[in-house]
Amino acid sequence: MANSSPLPESGPANRDMPPARSIFARIVRRAMLFTLVALLLLFAITAWEAWRATERSLAMTVDTDIAGLVDIYATGGEAELLARLADRATLVRLEGRRARYLAARPDGTVLAGNVARWPDLGAGLSEAGFLTLDDGTRVYARATKLGPDIDLLVARTYERDRAALLRQAALFGAVATLIVLATGLLGRRAARNLRRRIRAISKAFRSAEEGRDPDLAESEWDDEIGELATLSTRAISRSANLARTHRHMSDHIAHEIRTPLTHLDARLVNTMRSLPDGADPALLDQCRRDIRGVVTMLDSLLDIASSEARVGDMAGLSPVDLSALASDLAELYAGSAEEEGLTLRTFIEPDVTILGEPMQLTRLLSNLLDNAIKYVPRGGQITLSVARGPVIEVRDDGPGIAPELRPLVFERFRTGQNPAGKTSHGLGLALARAIALRHGMGIALADSQVGAHFVIKPHAMWNAGETSA
């Protein structure tokens, strides 16, 4: 009897293709990113050079002012220097840089100037640099020693220079934004044109894959993609013609062979009817069985060729309730198994679906069950399992398959030791493999302690260390 019980879920059923990602969109994004990085690098170099030029200009202005004050100190002495510092502190410079001065003793005592406290600059080393005064004013300053008892600090503010750099940065940022946006718009326009042309080629290939005549006109563009479109048109049309020719020849050959064999079988039947009384028709019966065997073998070979030729072809596939199909088939085979003294057990999960052809899937399961019933001796057990994935398993506790035949078991005309009274052309497992491939799955002979264990599941579910036919 056929027993049914659920199995643990073995994996998700997902045959959906991942969404296509446009290479043209990635190219446009990378072009925009490259343009942005290049503009930022250009801005960094330009800003750095502009700042260095500002620093050199400030240094030259300060050093020129110090040279004049040194000359005043040398000719007029300390009193003249202090008087001139008071006058210069009130002047407004034409370049917009306000002057800041400080004359002090080495101990920090302020003598003159408009700076409240000596900053962190060494006069003995004539140090210079950017700094912030106590009142928050940002200046470029240089300290120098005029004599053993007097130090001098000369500084210039740079608010206008800094504001000019900020305006330059804002203008550069606005222009860079426009350039990046223009790059993106032009890139998207070019990418949209390329995508349209590539999709036309892909549509032609998809039509051929689905069994329809490709509709791809000769390209009017004289470039690499135009050449690809032209070559694709010719290659797809040639492949479609070859496929049609192959199918027509196969059908014609099958018809031409079946017809004389059918006529020969009919003649044998007429001959058997006209045999004299007492004649033994066993030899003629054997001839008729041989004819039926040849026809069956021919049908199997054509089915294998048809399934292999349609691998990857989605035409004709529709959602199939694999659970219901396997349950119905198990009920049909339960009687045959019982007649052979076998037990057929089933473990079928409900609502397992697959995109396929019901008749081919029925032949797939039938071939595996027929194979098991043929080789398992009386008293044996056959198990049919269907789980999500989908994963189909057929196992038995029969004699199994010889180790030397295991790598070749799915090849055509490969048979093991046939049981007494039973024949095989060695095409059942080859057809099972072709049907599995037609449905995007692989079939393998799994390792088992006893008997044979066949596993069928989608290619994506096979681990790296496993192999499937």
In a domain, 169, yes or no: yes
Contacts 24+ apart (CB under 8 A), 86-91: 86/112, 89/113, 89/114
The rounded distance, in Å, linking the Cα atoms of 419 and 430 is 20
> Whole-model pTM?
0.48
- pLDDT confidence tier of residue 417, bands split at 50, 70 and 90: low
In a domain, 112, yes or no: yes
> What's the domain count of the chain?
2
- pLDDT confidence tier of residue 274, bands split at 50, 70 and 90: confident
Which amino acid does the sequence have at 291?
A: I
Residue 391 maps to which CATH number? 3.30.565.10
Domain boundary among 149, 183, 209: 209
In a domain, 71, yes or no: yes
Q: What are the two backbone dihedrals, phi and then psi, of residue 240, each rounded to the nearest 5 degrees? A: -65, -40
In a domain, 463, yes or no: yes
In a domain, 134, yes or no: yes
- pLDDT confidence tier of residue 336, bands split at 50, 70 and 90: confident
Range of the domain at 446: 314-469
Residues 323 and 186 in one domain: no
Residues 204 and 318 in one domain: no
Indicate the average pLDDT of the chain. Answer: 79
In a domain, 57, yes or no: yes
In a domain, 245, yes or no: no
The rounded distance, in Å, linking the Cα atoms of 141 and 129 is 6
Angle at 102 between CA 98 and CA 105, to 5 degrees: 175
Residues 346 and 465 in one domain: yes
- pLDDT confidence tier of residue 1, bands split at 50, 70 and 90: very low
Rg (C-alpha) for the chain, rounded Å, is 46
Q: Is 440 left (phi over 0), alpha (psi -120 to 50) or beta?
A: left
pLDDT tens string 7-48:
333 333 333 444 456 777 788 888 888 988 998 999 899 989
In a domain, 394, yes or no: yes
Domain boundary among 168, 191, 209: 209
Domain boundary among 144, 179, 209: 209
Q: Is the pLDDT of residue 331 over 60?
A: yes
User: How is residue 228 written in tokens?
Assistant: 């690809």
Residues 35 and 182 in one domain: yes
Residue 37 maps to which CATH number? 3.30.450.20
